[in-house]
A and B are shown apart, each in its own frame.
Chain A
Amino acid sequence: MLSLPSQLILGFLSAVVISAAVSVARAPSRNSQNGKHIFETQGCQQCHGNQGQGLANTQTQESAPRIGPTRLSQAAFVGFVRHPMGKMPAYRNQDVSDAELADLYAFLQSLAPPTKADPSSANATKGQHLFMSYGCYECHGNEGQGSTQTAGSRIGPIEIPFAPFVAYIRQPTAQMPPYTAKAVSDADLADIYAFLLSRPHSAPAKSIQLLNQ
């Protein structure tokens, strides 16, 4: 378990798909200190670096993405750890519990650099305008519904904290083009985050007749 091979974590979209299929227990609390301990004892740093910054070996074409912070929601994160793709080994419940993964998740998200904005006081209406003018909708859809064609993941309602949200936008690990602070300020991102947070959850598909045919 400790001697991990080089790992490869793949697309967020697929991870979300997997996560939806598994039952994920929500941790009652998030202890990032315990999460750091789990990160080290489970050997995550061997492939993802001491700060979860990701490692790449261009010679062997093997790499592990940055996961500190991760752009995955907690549910997607747990789903991926249980059912990974590529070279990352699966971690079963007897290896690391859901509660421990919740702590690990909290630790990884705490690695996001501080932001200069507070989404709690942001303007969702303005955020919707910015979401369109900054072209977020092109890959993620007007409502943040995501797209298989663009591989833009579903981001409405947003499920990750604000700091990892900003961190990913500044330094994306996958296909997304980076939005630097010069292009989009933290304050604007806070408004966009507020807009995404305000997106209503969908009605259950089973309640929509057209989706049961």
Chain B
Amino acid sequence: MAKSRKGPVNRREFLKNAAAGAAALAASPKLADGQPTPSTPRGPVPPMSPEAEFSTPPAPEVLTADRTGSDFMVDVIKSLGIEYVCANPGSAFRGLHESVINYGGNKDPEFITCCHEESSVAMAHGYAKIEGKPLAVFAHGTVGIQHAAMAIYNAYCDRVPVYLIAGNILDATKRINAAEWVHSVQDAAAMVRDYLKWDDLPLSLPHFAESAVRAYKIAMTPPMMPVFLVADAELQENPIPDGLALPIPKLALAAPPQGDSGAVAEAARLLAAAQNPVIIADRAARTPVGLTRLIDLAETLQAPVIDQMWRMNFPSRHPLNQTQRSRELVCNADVILGLECSDFWNALHSFRDQINRTSLPLTKPGVKLIGITATDLFSKSNYQDSQRFQQVDLDIAADAEATLPSLTEAIKRELTSDRKRALQDRGTQFAVAREESLQRARDAAAYAWDATPISTARLCAELWANIKDQDWSLVSFTTFVNRWPQRLWSFDKHYQYIGGHGGAGIGYGAPAAVGAALANRKYGRLSVNIQCDGDLMYAPGILWTAAHHRIPLLSVMHNNRAYHQEVMQVQIMANRHSRGVDRAKIGTAIEDPTIDFTKLAQSLGVHAEGPITDPKDLGPAIRRGLEVVKRGDPALIDAHTQPR
């Protein structure tokens, strides 16, 4: 990477150096031969010597500028339609910060104050899941980027676009103090490059404009991922030279890649002829259109859909949603279509975590496997999010959502009238099975209905009863509550579920929920969040962000008072060694003291009540919280729950 900077004419720098140079000539001792003349730092000019005071006075130092590079950067950001900037303030982007709130009018983008960069990026992650486009994140040099790193990794694994701009001071002679040195870095993106799709270090404002538009386009082209720009402090803060032409390139998003027509025709032939086809959807529906396209495909084939729920892929109560029978269906399938499967292998195998770790295929011999995923179009090697390699019979490197229309049409061409009638019979059987699955889920939820701590089934049922008649959006991951929402609720809109973290980096949940709620706000949707206690404790300051920016969001705590996944892991080891599991809570329990999330949330400006320990009290508390949310503010209900 080039370390020298060849920017436009720098008027401020020229004048400042002239004044300082005059003083230095009069007062500085002679430098040793060969020693370079020191550059003037970015700080205040030293006082003049008595000799200099009697010489010809220098021209007055220019201390203000009407328009600086950061103003133009804001013009560029506005041109991309970015609505918000999430950031914890940092001097490395002070120019941009000031330009956003003053020059840009703090609107499109509006500055959202975060208490941690991980929260900033996770907010962007959740926002993009709802809005389908990125918001911007500003990050302080070095420390801010490192704070952001885990959340960037989550977004990368989850194939979500995040638009990062990091401040930095590349020119060492412009760093004024120790803090600026430790907050500067030669290659700012290096620390997160393994999980970025693209990054750049623009050396001029025209360069910034081109790279900013390019970055947005790259982030939004499947597979979507975070992108990263460095906005050097000098480029932000230097005045824009008069007459400098600063065009902003027009943004034209790339059409997502569709599958090869021959391969799609072959997939259609296999699926149309299959007796027991199965569709596994993982990150298939990027947009609301993806959901309707998947419905069209499934209904054309009358094939069951197994929703792995990393996106809102398929209506939860659709007759062909057979997610609760996934293993049985995989075992009996003759053709399986994987749509944007991040872990196709895992969907097709069982795994046993004993001393001798073993796995077995679930599928029958001769099963035909078809994969459609854009992930094949962009791969990195260091981080192992690629998952276990799954051999398939037909691999289509393309965006699944974009490929579905041609695939569905090709299948329709394959189907005769007799075949269509047979498929309808198949669909009728699935409809019966779906009703049975729903009843089984309800029967299972009834067990321990009045238990204390509150069962996760009861929590989800109470929440559903209070939101089902509203325009709601569940902005949290459901794995930790046994998928009860998908088992009991009726999801049929794309914004009603945002999937999960991607990289299993805990701490994603709360800020992603707030980010998604921020996106939902302008549509008037009710955002609800089932919030794990361990997750919230990573960066609880996000509650203050929600309160400060009046982001309406109802959070119901799944407060089970331990990192239970890890309790289990320690238990596995203790059992393996026959040492007893009674000490497995050491290092895993979140008790003694029990965290009072009500007081925590209240101290951060959020309406809160709890802890709720009697399940009969939960419904009324949820209703009181919803009243607050309907007024436009966040609310939190602390419920003490069973581990799972």
- B10 on the interface (CB 8 Å rule)? no
Residues of chain A from 116 to 161 with CB closer than 8 A to chain B in the complex: 133-135, 137-139, 141-143, 145-150, 152, 154, 156
Verify B571–A141 contact, CB threshold 8 A: no
Residues of chain B from 417 to 450 with CB closer than 8 A to chain A in the complex: 433, 436-437, 439-440, 442-449
Verify B327–A14 contact, CB threshold 8 A: yes
Closest to B358 in A: A58
A-B contact pairs, 26 of them (CB 8 A): A8-B360, A17-B440, A86-B331, A86-B362, A86-B364, A133-B582, A135-B571, A135-B582, A138-B568, A139-B644, A145-B444, A145-B642, A149-B483, A177-B575, A178-B576, A183-B575, A183-B581, A202-B448, A202-B449, A203-B449, A204-B443, A205-B443, A208-B446, A211-B461, A211-B488, A213-B465
- B6 on the interface (CB 8 Å rule)? no
| Chain A residues whose CB sits within 8 angstroms of the CB of B354 once the complex forms | 177-178
- A212 on the interface (CB 8 Å rule)? yes
Question: Which of B325, B352, B581 is A175 in contact with, Cβ under 8 Å?
Answer: B352
| Chain B residues whose CB sits within 8 angstroms of the CB of A17 once the complex forms | 324-325, 437, 440
Verify B448–A177 contact, CB threshold 8 A: no
| Known A62-B360, A183-B580; contact A18-B352, beta-carbon cutoff 8 A | no
Residues of chain A from 171 to 190 with CB closer than 8 A to chain B in the complex: 174-175, 177-180, 182-183
A210 to B488, alpha carbons, bound, how many Å? 10
Q: Tally chain B residues at the interface, Cβ within 8 Å.
A: 60
A142 to B454, alpha carbons, bound, how many Å? 10
Verify A211–B350 contact, CB threshold 8 A: no
| Known A83-B328, A149-B480, A211-B488; contact A137-B439, beta-carbon cutoff 8 A | no
- How far does the Cβ of B469 sit from chain A's closest Cβ, in whole Å? 10
A149 to B451, alpha carbons, bound, how many Å? 19
| Known A134-B581, A142-B643; contact A10-B440, beta-carbon cutoff 8 A | no
Between A135, A147, A212, the greatest number of chain B beta carbons within 10 A of the residue's beta carbon is seen for: A135
- How far does the Cβ of A120 sit from chain B's closest Cβ, in whole Å? 25
- How far does the Cβ of B583 sit from chain A's closest Cβ, in whole Å? 10
- B567 on the interface (CB 8 Å rule)? yes
Verify B362–A202 contact, CB threshold 8 A: no
| Known A141-B643, A183-B575; contact A210-B461, beta-carbon cutoff 8 A | yes
Verify B479–A149 contact, CB threshold 8 A: yes
Interface contact tally, CB-CB below 8 A? 148
Which 8 A-B pairs have CB atoms at the shortest separation, nearest pair first? A177-B575, A205-B442, A143-B448, A85-B331, A147-B644, A202-B447, A202-B446, A135-B581
- A63 on the interface (CB 8 Å rule)? yes
- How far does the Cβ of A33 sit from chain B's closest Cβ, in whole Å? 33
A179 to B332, alpha carbons, bound, how many Å? 34
Verify B445–A211 contact, CB threshold 8 A: yes
Between A149, A174, A211, the greatest number of chain B beta carbons within 10 A of the residue's beta carbon is seen for: A211
- How far does the Cβ of B581 sit from chain A's closest Cβ, in whole Å? 4
Verify A11–B327 contact, CB threshold 8 A: yes
- B579 on the interface (CB 8 Å rule)? yes
Interface size class of A (residues with CB under 8 A): 35 or more
Verify B453–A142 contact, CB threshold 8 A: yes
- B181 on the interface (CB 8 Å rule)? no
Verify A175–B327 contact, CB threshold 8 A: no
Closest to A133 in B: B582
Verify A145–B447 contact, CB threshold 8 A: yes
- How far does the Cβ of A191 sit from chain B's closest Cβ, in whole Å? 15
Closest to B447 in A: A202
Closest to A63 in B: B360
| Known A135-B571, A150-B644; contact A14-B328, beta-carbon cutoff 8 A | yes
A139 to B484, alpha carbons, bound, how many Å? 16
| Chain B residues whose CB sits within 8 angstroms of the CB of A211 once the complex forms | 442, 445-446, 461, 488
Residues of chain B from 337 to 371 with CB closer than 8 A to chain A in the complex: 350, 352-354, 358-362, 364
Verify B331–A205 contact, CB threshold 8 A: no
Closest to B642 in A: A142
Question: Which of A138, A148, A154, A174 is B564 in contact with, Cβ under 8 Å?
Answer: A138
- A21 on the interface (CB 8 Å rule)? yes
A62 to B365, alpha carbons, bound, how many Å? 11
Verify A138–B325 contact, CB threshold 8 A: no
A204 to B444, alpha carbons, bound, how many Å? 10
- B623 on the interface (CB 8 Å rule)? no
Verify B447–A143 contact, CB threshold 8 A: yes
- A20 on the interface (CB 8 Å rule)? yes
Between A62, A145, A152, A202, the greatest number of chain B beta carbons within 10 A of the residue's beta carbon is seen for: A145
Verify B331–A142 contact, CB threshold 8 A: no
| Chain A residues whose CB sits within 8 angstroms of the CB of B5 once the complex forms | none
- B584 on the interface (CB 8 Å rule)? yes
Residues of chain B from 560 to 582 with CB closer than 8 A to chain A in the complex: 564, 567-568, 571-572, 574-576, 578-582
- How far does the Cβ of B63 sit from chain A's closest Cβ, in whole Å? 61
Closest to A61 in B: B360
- A87 on the interface (CB 8 Å rule)? yes
Verify B439–A205 contact, CB threshold 8 A: yes
| Chain B residues whose CB sits within 8 angstroms of the CB of A138 once the complex forms | 564, 567-568, 571, 643-644
| Known A138-B568, A149-B480, A213-B468; contact A85-B643, beta-carbon cutoff 8 A | no
Closest to B365 in A: A87
| Chain A residues whose CB sits within 8 angstroms of the CB of B331 once the complex forms | 10, 85-86
